[in-house]
Amino acid sequence: MMIPKFKLFIVILFVSSLFTSNLSNASTNTNPKDKVLITILRYVLTQGHYHPKKIDDAFSEKVYHTFLTRVDPSKRYFLQADIDEFSQYKTKIDDQIKNEDLSFFYLVYNRLMQRSEEAKAYYKDILATKFDFTKNETFDIDYEKAPYANNVNELIAIWHKQLKFNTLVHLDDKLIAEEDKKKEDSTYVKKTFNELEIEARETTLKNMNEYFERVEELTYSDWFSTFLNCISEEFDPHTTYFSPSLKKRFDISMAGKLEGIGARLQKKNNYTKVVELISGGPAWKAGELEVGDLILKVAQGDGDPVEIVGMRLDDAIELIKGKKGTEVRLTIKKIDGTIKVISIIRDVVELEETFVKSSIVTKNGKKYGIIHLPKFYISFDEQNFRNSATDMAKEIERLKEEKVEGIALDLRNNGGGSLKTAIEISGLFIEKGPVVQVKYRDKDAIVKKDKDPKIQWNGPLVVLVNELSASASEIFAAAMQDYKRAIIIGSKQTYGKGTVQSLINLNRYHDLNEDLGALKMTIQKFYRINGGSTQLEGVHADVVLPDRYRYMNIGERDLENPLQFDKVPQATYTIWDNYENFNKAINNSKKRIAANNYFKLIDENAKWLKKSQDDTLVYLNYEAYKNDLESHNKTAEKYKSISEYTSNLTYTSPKYEIPLLKENQDLADKRKAWHKNLHKDIYIEEAVNILADLKLKPSYVLVKN
């Protein structure tokens, strides 16, 4: 579709202050570029999305609620009267989208500008007065359930509690720091509680000033992009609009978000959340940062920490990333609710650590191979061609030379990658046949097959997965499960991402002299060969191993508007029927897990973590706050022994790697660290137990060379 040319009138934004009345007045005039953009977006979404939604009153209500939540997540700007005024558009946004009418957006945007400007006076006045931390007072930080303020006094009361809690956290930090100084120097005279209370309020004031400075840097375009994403993400959480500036920074590998510490970050309400650690990256090597952690503050070395709660993700990333060799100190909130400061030395992600690697373990006189695959990688760089399928085949051959009796393939935290290599790696363990089904909108599913009849490994196979095994990992694990080729062990289910996205340049739909950005849109869906989708359901393990995320919603099901699970016709395939005791080995493992005290403790910890996550009440009385914190930390200490577990198994490098370790001390250190972690890994230990138990039929010959 080609949009006719028009004379473009661009709203000039005075970027030094987002809240000026000039900007507010200018934004009431419909920008022709915005009208074209919303028309193109609607066209592409309805014509190209895998599962297009009807843009009707129900759609309108969802966009309405989502947008209000995005612009005022803590309900500290809008009054109930504002919401009552906005509500006239609750079921009209669908009509406005179709008619290029942006009245709702402009009304909310201008009111947000007004309320934000008013809020500057609130927080400054509040922080000018001493807080009473002896008063018995609580605050529920579950903002979704909280009502909007009916008047300015109620709104100021909300601000008061939020600022009081922020100050209380800073005050506690300062009190602890004073105690530490006294321990280091007995002559040190500690500051009084009142002195520290003043300093804590000053810190909160500084953070709030910086917060509003960052908000003022947001452009009109940023807010409009937020509105457009409330529309696009209603189709599914992976369908996202990229403004021209974001499109320029976008990289399929997300390299920009991995620079510095090697972690992929995501905005979760007001928080910056860790959603992935990259193998070989500094955060992964340091071992203290975990998926699910919330980053609260960022400090450069010994510098003062900057609070990033409420900060734009791009701005937070700019603070976190930095030059190789420099130190960043992160204040993080763990999933158990404890607050911790960790130090990470920035570095580049080491490519070698993202490749396949293997180890040998001996149990009861028999050898078994452990293969770690961090992602399904592929490269077409002629100077350094690597792909996970050819690397996996080589690693299997090396393990066969070691005369291993079974292989455990570790796909935990493997976020996916190349579909082609997932199919080829599946083919290393089965004869030729279907591996996955791929479906476009309104089309029959296409069966993707392994066409090579050669089997690289025909012996016992166990595949380890967890909640963060996604996409291509799920395709491989599902194929191995459907063929009954491997026993799948790990989390109750994998991530559950069974969709494929494509980046669409929106400029192909117009002939303006304007960059309208791009849309990352879901265009395909994956299905198992048994007909079921991996979407939402993921792959359910044959043997469920308790882990700390067991009772939490981690994965696709935790996102807003995910596409649903469904089925297509089953492909034609033959089960790999060469195990003598497949079901018995599964049952034996379940019995071992039920009787294992460490697994019992892990499960108990998981229940406590879920309870902690659901507890949103915080104390504004200092003694009550401190007691609650100490009680929480005391309970967390109870589960410390989980991380101290060690097995009686010893892991070594395969023979081919021994000369390399002698020549390369860096590689030797990395393997030493990996083997140490394997030695403490109760999940790998159970994988080895299953391999030792799993028997092939007497008539079936295991090929070891």
Does the residue 278 lie in any domain? Answer: yes
> Which one-letter DSSP state was computed for residue 252?
T
What is the percent of the chain with per-residue pLDDT over 70, rounded to a whole number?
92
In Å, how far are 367, 482, 525, 528, 538 from 439, measured between CA atoms?
41, 19, 5, 11, 17
Report the C-alpha gap between 426 and 424 in whole angstroms. Answer: 5
Q: Examine the pLDDT at 413 and tell me if it is beyond 60.
A: yes
| Residues contacting 252, CB < 8 A, separation 6+ | 503
The verdict on 475 and 538 lying in the same domain is: yes
What domain range is 295 assigned to?
A: 260-345
What is the structure's pLDDT at 265? 85
pLDDT digits (tens, 9 = 90+) for 136-183: 999 998 898 899 999 999 999 999 999 999 999 999 999 999 999 999
The rounded distance, in Å, linking the Cα atoms of 127 and 264 is 35
- CB neighbours of 289 closer than 8 A, spacing ≥ 6? 261, 263, 274, 277, 283, 330, 332, 342, 344
Taking 90 as the threshold, does the pLDDT of residue 85 lie above it?
yes
Chain centre to alpha carbon of residue 225: 21
Model pTM? 0.87
Question: What gap in Å lies between CA 434 and CA 163, rounded to an integer?
Answer: 58
The number of CA neighbours under 13 Å toward the Cβ of 9 is: 7
Answer yes or no: is pLDDT of 5 > 70.
Answer: no
Per-residue tokens: 145: 């359930």
Whether residue 269 is found in the same domain as residue 388: no
- Are 157 and 182 within one domain? yes
Structurally, the chain folds into a number of domains equal to: 3
Are 221 and 337 within one domain? no
Q: What region, left, alpha or beta, does residue 488 occupy, with left being phi > 0 and alpha being psi -120 to 50 degrees?
A: beta
Q: Which of 200, 234, 268 is the last residue of a domain?
A: 234
Indicate the residue among 315, 345, 375 that finishes a domain: 345
Average pLDDT for residues 66-89, to the nearest whole number? Answer: 96
Task: Please give the helix or strand (H or E) that residue 25 lies within, else none.
Answer: helix 21-26
Predicted pLDDT at 705? 65
Q: Note the pLDDT tens digit of each residue in 586-626.
A: 999 999 999 999 999 999 999 999 998 888 899 999 999 99
Average of per-residue pLDDT across 535-559? 93
Residue 470 or 340, more confident: 470
Nearest to 559 by CA among 252, 272, 267: 267
> Alpha-carbon distance 621 to 618, whole Å?
9
Q: Is residue 39 in some structural domain?
A: no
- The H or E element that residue 215 is part of is helix 193-217
Strand ranges of the sheet holding 461-465, from the earlier edge strand across to the other edge: 543-544, 487-490, 461-465, 407-410, 366-372, 357-363, 651-652
CATH of the domain at 338: 2.30.42.10
Kindly state whether residues 328 and 466 are assigned to the same domain. no
600: its two tokens = 């019992």
Q: Identify which of 564, 436, 415 has the alpha carbon closest to the alpha carbon of residue 495.
A: 415
Q: Which residues are catalytic?
A: 471, 482, 497
What is the Cα–Cα distance from 684 to 648, expressed in whole angstroms?
12
Same domain? For 317 and 393 the reply is no
Examine the domain organization and report whether 111 and 131 are in the same domain: yes
Please identify, among 216, 234, 252, the residue that sits at the C-terminal boundary of a domain.
Answer: 234
- The reply to whether 243 falls in a domain is no
Pair of tokens at residue 135: 């008063």
Mean pLDDT value of segment 419-436: 96
Calpha distance 367→352 (Å, rounded): 25
Residue 701 lies in a domain: no
* Per-residue DSSP letter, 361: E
Same-domain check for residues 442 and 393: yes
- pLDDT-wise least confident of 125-139, 338-352, 372-386: 372-386
Q: Which of 249-253, 260-264, 537-541, 631-635 has the highest mean pLDDT?
A: 537-541
Dihedral sign for Cα 686, 687, 690, 691, please: negative
The tokens describing 586, both together, are 């599964």
Residue 412 CB-half CA count within 13 A: 19
Please check whether residues 355 and 306 belong to one and the same domain: no
CA distances from 445 to 140, 529, 570 (A): 48, 10, 10
Contacts of 463 (CB under 8 A, 6+ apart): 408, 409, 411, 476, 477, 480, 486, 487, 488, 489
Per-residue pLDDT at 15: 21
> Is 247 within the bounds of a domain?
no
**DSSP per-residue string spanning 567-620:** B-PPPP------BSSHHHHHHHHHHHHHH-HHHHHHHHHHHHHHHHHH--EEE-
Q: 171-219: per-residue pLDDT in tens?
A: 999 999 999 999 999 999 999 999 999 999 999 999 899 889 888 888 8
**Domain shared by 269 and 331, yes or no:** yes
At 249, the pLDDT band (50, 70, 90 cuts) reads: low
Same structural domain, 58 and 21: yes
CA distance 14 to 11: 10
Q: Indicate whether 230 and 136 sit together in one domain.
A: yes
Domain membership of residue 47 (yes or no) is: no
Helix (H), strand (E) at residue 490: strand 487-490
Residue 705 lies in a domain: no
Give the dihedral sign, CA 268/271/277/278: positive
**Would 230 be classed as within a structural domain?**
yes
Q: pLDDT band at residue 31, thresholds of 50, 70 and 90?
A: confident
The pLDDT mean for the chain works out to 89
Strands 461-465 and 407-410: parallel
